[in-house]
Chains A and B, each alone.
Chain A
Amino acid sequence: MTEAAQSLIDALALGGLYALIAIGVTLIYTVMGMMNFAQGEFIMLPAYILYVLAGLPFAVAVGAALATGVAIAVLAERVAFRPVRDADLSAQLVTSLAVATILQNVVSATVDARAQSVATPALLSESSQVGSLSVPNLEILTLALTAIVLGGLGWLLYRTRIGLEMRAAAENFEMARLLGVRANRVIAIAFAISGALAAMVGVLLVMQTGQVSPTMGLTPVLVGFIAVVIGGFGRISGAVVGGLVLGALSSLLGAYLPDGLVPFRDAIVFSLPVAILIVRPQGLLGAATGEARV
């Protein structure tokens, strides 16, 4: 019983982390129709800020990491993605791949191509006693952040003017534009939020693994993409469901897979979308698959 509850909390925490990644991917997709490969680098760069600012108080470093996430996302939008805003989705995808490659290798060239270890605050590597369970503080933090982000996004999207504009843009971008939604502002804000989410994920990943590397964003971005595919494109709810499903699966496989197969966990997890797409080509919740309609 205890063990099952423990597994459940582990699964939820990982699912929450994946959901945060997927929401970041989805936000940009909804306002711009772009699957952003560079989301992984929006995660990686803030993580490196923790490494670079290792001597400073942890809170300062985290604040700087969040600021970096926002800044790099907004900058990438302005410099690289705005010129291809009207291009087809393949062209946008390749453009974001180029941005990802550049950012990754700038870090390789300026810091190091190899992984670096980062000290994490002791508090986060300890566990708290919850009833009969011992829950790692990091998982509590992850779950709390996921809840806060979901609540905050709900408030932003449904209670504010900019949220209304974002939803309108997601529904029909051209129409929203005609009705006076300022495209540049809505997209920039979506990127800023997405960058902040990515930075949070970056910080959580560093706390989890204790290290940073230039390619550390690769697996998370794929996780985000697949969560979005599983959940159905272009819906925050789909991203959350997809993230939770993927996180839970990954976590449970880690716990219950026979020893010999554990190294192949990623292979099994990443084969999942194929299995789901065979049964439901439109995703679990999906209606909008990006498929052309008459």
Chain B
Amino acid sequence: MSGRGLRSPASTAISALVPLVLVVLTAALGASGTPSFEDTVAMVLCNLIIVLGLQVFIGNSGVYSFGQLGFAATGAYLAALLTIPAAFTALQTPELPNLIAAAQLSPLLSVLIAAVASGILAAVVGWPLMRTSTLAIPISTFAFLIVVYNVLANWDPITGGSSGLVSIPRTTSVTSAAIWAAVAVVVAIAFKWSASGYRLQATREGEVAARSIGIGVTRERLIAFTISGTLCGIGGALEVHQSGVLSPDTFYFAASVTTLTMLVVGGARSVLGAVVGTLAVATVNELLRNLEEGAHLLGPISIGETPGLAAIGLGLILLLTMVALPQGLTGGREAGEVEPVRRRLRSRFPSTSPAAPPPGRARPRSARGAAGGLRAEGISLAFSGLHVLREVELALPPGEALGLIGPNGAGKTTLVNILSGFQAPESGSVLLDGEEVTGWSPARLTRSGVGRTFQAGLPFAGLTVVESVAVGAMGVGIGRGRAVDIAVDVLERLGLGEEAQSPAGLQPPGNQRLLGIARALATGPRYLLLDEPAAGLNDEECRELVAILHGVIEDFGCAVLLIEHDMNVVMDLCSRVQVLDDGETVAVGSPEEVQADPAVVEAYLGTSYAVGAHA
């Protein structure tokens, strides 16, 4: 049932077709109405393109941008200036460069140029903005929107200033708007299901975990930001060819709120949500706008002319959605995705230990071979004066299983953070197969063969099990198809094959542990750093985990660094054990030697465990 893909062919087909059918139906409805209704519908379809643009970035990254309308404005102005007849251009924008002023391109060409220009602008603007944090992006993109507005409203000789532009050819029909909207749907859904789209969704589900599987957060955000800017530019260009007029206010704050409301009401995470939200909000908006002009309601109740009524309605809808239905009308699901069923929380640990793999299975990148191993040399680190690590040495040769033990606060996780690039040491260096890798980003280290898991698990809760593992392989640059093969293979070996299509976030704790390991394995690590994989598991689950880890070491041939409190697990798996206490190495040796070491007994075993209990 896990199938070969990330979802069944039927689910894929339904998810892609339903939004397209909605676009076609909307266009058909518009074409059958009065000319003014037809104009309204064409406008809604243009808006849909912009909302789909928002979906590509906001929906997949989970980061809000308030600046995408700036790209719509850019596209709109460019398309307008390129198509306004030269006679009118001279009146409205006297200082426009002759090349553009004299140009009277075909509307289609102007839209294409607008698309390219907006995309380039988005890439240029996004390059610095995407480097900032999840919290700073909404603010700096909002700043970008105001900058665009300020320039458009004040650069009179080029843009017509705050009075805007008129006499723009009105060439966007319901049909052409629908065709472009369909293209936008296809682009949005293709991106969402591409390797890049999945990597971006992984950053949405957890930035830290995403970096641990090789994903460059900034890069993935920038790709989506650029595609989003391009779509918004197309939407803006088509819209201006629909209305025939343009001013700096057309794509400013109010339009930002409207399009954002459309996206959020439908459900930002799904392309279907963008379509449904646009249609629903546009309908309500039109009704409210009619009321704004004054209307006679039931009996004696009537309202006078009330500007702002539609906007109040939009604000209330947005507020209610955020409070009551944060994932929107679609729940953030595509048409072919069913609502996950919350099942009894039951661990799916295999009842028998996994068999050795049959030969010839898909296996992540090469195992053994490279000499040298992963080494830490003279690592020291202090947090606000408190020593966390002092001159720590650690060597993890290829293929070995090394246990890292010590009391709470000994510095074990910090050491793993340093080895995996999440924390820079103050002094000392990290060497990977003899190469100095201190200061490398987590993503780069992962791509070079260092994988890790987290104590807290950090699952990609919003993805399915198979997606959340496949994205591990995509994270290190493996193509989508092969990534899925690897994920299916890893999941089967770990006994999670049957869970492939269920949401990762709804898995019981035992499966979450395995899922973290599976995700790291999918990146094809040569060195796998496991941070307390057995924490929170019961005795039986622990034994099963040990069996699985044995299989992992043998099948995948990767070296394992195991932080673990459960001595049974350590003694069973590791040929060598290193003991940390208070940031310093107390002992290194075979499990037996370490257990017999008086310093270890004093530091660790003596306090928490009976000596010899596991000997």
* Chain A interface residues (CB < 8 Å from chain B): 35, 80, 83-84, 87-91, 93-95, 97-102, 104-109, 113, 214-215, 218-219, 222, 225-226, 228-229, 233, 263-264, 266-267, 270-271, 273-274, 277-278, 281-282, 289-294
Query: Which B-chain residue is minimally distant from A280 (CB atoms)?
Result: B132
A215–B135 touching, CB < 8 Å:
no
C-alpha spacing A98/B260, complex, angstroms = 10
Residue B14 lies at the interface, judged by CB distance under 8 Å to chain A: no
A289 CA / B63 CA spacing, docked (Å) = 15
Contacts A289-B133, A290-B134 known; 11 new A-B pairs at CB < 8 A: A97-B318, A98-B318, A218-B253, A222-B146, A266-B146, A270-B147, A274-B128, A281-B131, A281-B133, A291-B134, A291-B207
A292 to B206, CA, bound (A): 9
Contact between chains at A90 and B62 (CB < 8 Å): yes
What chain A residues lie within 8 Å of B454 (beta carbons)? Answer: 294
Give the tally of cross-chain contacts (CB within 8 A): 159
Docked CA distance A244–B352 (Å): 66
A87/B326 contact (C-beta < 8 A), A101-B314, A113-B308, A294-B454 known: yes
Q: Chain A: interface secondary structure?
A: helix
How far, in whole Å, are A127 and B296 apart by their CA atoms in the complex? Answer: 54
Q: Is the CB of A267 within 8 A of B147?
A: yes
User: Contact at B315–A105, with CB atoms within 8 Å?
Assistant: yes
How extensive is the interface on chain B, given as a class?
35 or more
- By Cβ-Cβ distance, the 7 closest A-B pairs, closest first, are A108-B308, A290-B135, A101-B315, A102-B315, A105-B308, A263-B154, A98-B318
Minimal beta-carbon separation of A35 from chain B (angstroms): 7
Whether B422 is near chain A, meaning CB under 8 Å from some CB there, is yes
Q: Which residues of B contact A (CB under 8 A)?
A: 62-64, 128-129, 131-136, 138-140, 142-144, 146-147, 150-151, 154-155, 206-208, 253, 257, 260-261, 264, 306-309, 311-312, 314-316, 318-319, 322-323, 326, 413, 417, 422-423, 454
Asked if B257 and A101 make an inter-chain contact with CB atoms under 8 angstroms apart, the answer reads yes
What does DSSP make chain B's interface, helix, strand, loop or mixed? helix
B132 near A102: Cβ-Cβ < 8 Å: no
A267 lies within 8 A of B319 (CB): no
Nearest neighbor of B452 in chain A, beta-carbon distance: A294
With A and B bound together, what is the CA distance between A69 and B3 in angstroms? 59
Q: How far is the CB of B414 from chain A (nearest CB, A)?
A: 9
Q: Chain A contacts of B319 at CB under 8 A? A: 80, 95, 98-99, 102
Give the residues in chain B near A278, CB-CB below 8 Å: 128, 131
Which residues from A are CB-within-8-Å of B206?
A: 292
Q: Which of B138, B146, B150, B422 contacts A294 (CB 8 A)?
A: B422
- Contact partner of A90 among B138, B151, B207, B413, CB < 8 A? B138
Of A35, A91, A106, which contacts B308 at CB under 8 A? A106
| 8 A-B contact pairs sorted by A residue (CB < 8 Å) | A98-B315, A101-B314, A101-B318, A270-B150, A271-B143, A273-B140, A274-B129, A290-B135
